[in-house]
Amino acid sequence: MMGLANPASAIEFKTDDATVDIYGYARLNASYDIDEDISKNTGTRSGDFSQINTGAAEDSEASGYFGADAVQSRLGITTKLSNGLKINVEGDFRGGSSGGQLRLRHAYGQYKNWILGRTWSNYNSFVGNTSVLEMDGVAGNAGLYNRTAQVRYTTGNFSVAVEDPKSKILDESSKNGLPTLTARYESKAGALKYSTAALLQEVGYDDGNTDDSALGFAVFGAAKYQLTDDLSIQGNVNYTDGANGYLWRSGTNYYGEDAYLNGDSVETIEGYSANLGATLNVGPGALSVVYGLTSMDWDDAKEDGLDVADKHERNTNAFITYKWSPLKSVTLGVEYGRFEVKKVSGDEGDANRLMFAAQYNF
């Protein structure tokens, strides 16, 4: 998938002991924000839920914003040694507040069933994702839509891992006393591909005088069904309780808080998300449509007296995307996207945008 998948080809070097592949792509992203500028701080021209005005402020913003960059461009090196060890290091240029600095994506070693290092979380799957031009993707994609440090063991279709924890407490510093434990199963049956995963994490608090912790967990299911040679439908569902750091596009933009403090007690926050899309081969390319949402339950926090009126209760986005390849290793795409926000206070806002991308793989 454009913006997510491995390169179409690579530059390969061989020695007596190793095979080295250099791969990557150069990419242009250009966006036109019709209502308000929601991509000014993201790099890659992706839409940012936190930049959407709500309530009375929604109509105060001037309209029409254009921007373009190439910071999503990527470079990676994979080395396979004669003893079976594989090493991968990959980066892009999304680092810094507005992009342009090298950012580490992958840095890991793989030997037989083991992976140690930084790569996609084991609590993640691309099976149910609908490909869009925006690098930040669709609300409700499965699991941690990011890479993390981990130790993973895989046997057949099943994998388990201990990972760098992501816990976050509202307006407080979270104590990460234990690693996150993840397990995933991914397989296929005929035209159906599917994946499911679960995780457990500790959400802890310790200010030196008082301390408490709670157990957070999350589960997801993802599936893709190839209806015909030209048409597929795919989607994801997620549920979290004390693990919204793994609920994609929750919170103000990327990940929401896992818990809050009620006095000295850590209280977990529930969340859920889902998306559904379809992809159809049309003409020289493929047309995709997808709708996704995330929601967080702030009712208990309100009842316990916390001021959470400005928190995002629901984020949704939808995309219509057309992509085609006029030349080998070249992909072009155009896209319409709509973003909507509803806050705990009841204030709502929305934004519409257009996007173009050109990607050149090597």
| pLDDT tens for each residue of 298-342 | 999 999 999 999 999 999 999 999 999 999 999 999 999 999 999
Amino acid at 20: V
Q: Give tens-digit pLDDT for 69-115.
A: 999 999 999 999 999 999 999 999 998 877 889 999 999 999 999 99
* CA gap 229, 353 in Å, rounded: 31
Give the angle 292-298-303 at the CA atoms, nearest 5°.
160
If one counts every other C-beta atom within 10 angstroms of the C-beta of residue 290, the result is 26
Amino acid at 115: I
Q: Is the pTM of this model over 0.75?
A: yes
Instruction: Give the tokens for residue 58.
Output: 């929604």
The SS3 assignment for 305 reads coil
The pLDDT confidence band at residue 8, using thresholds 50, 70 and 90, is very low
* CA gap 360, 352 in Å, rounded: 27
If one counts every other C-beta atom within 10 angstroms of the C-beta of residue 72, the result is 22
Q: Give tens-digit pLDDT for 344-360.
A: 999 999 999 999 999 99
What domains are there in the chain, each with its CATH number?
11-361 (2.40.160.10)
Q: Give tens-digit pLDDT for 163-182.
A: 999 999 999 999 999 999 99
Using a 10 angstrom Cβ sphere, with 0-12 exposed, 13-18 middle and 19 or more buried, the burial of residue 270 is middle
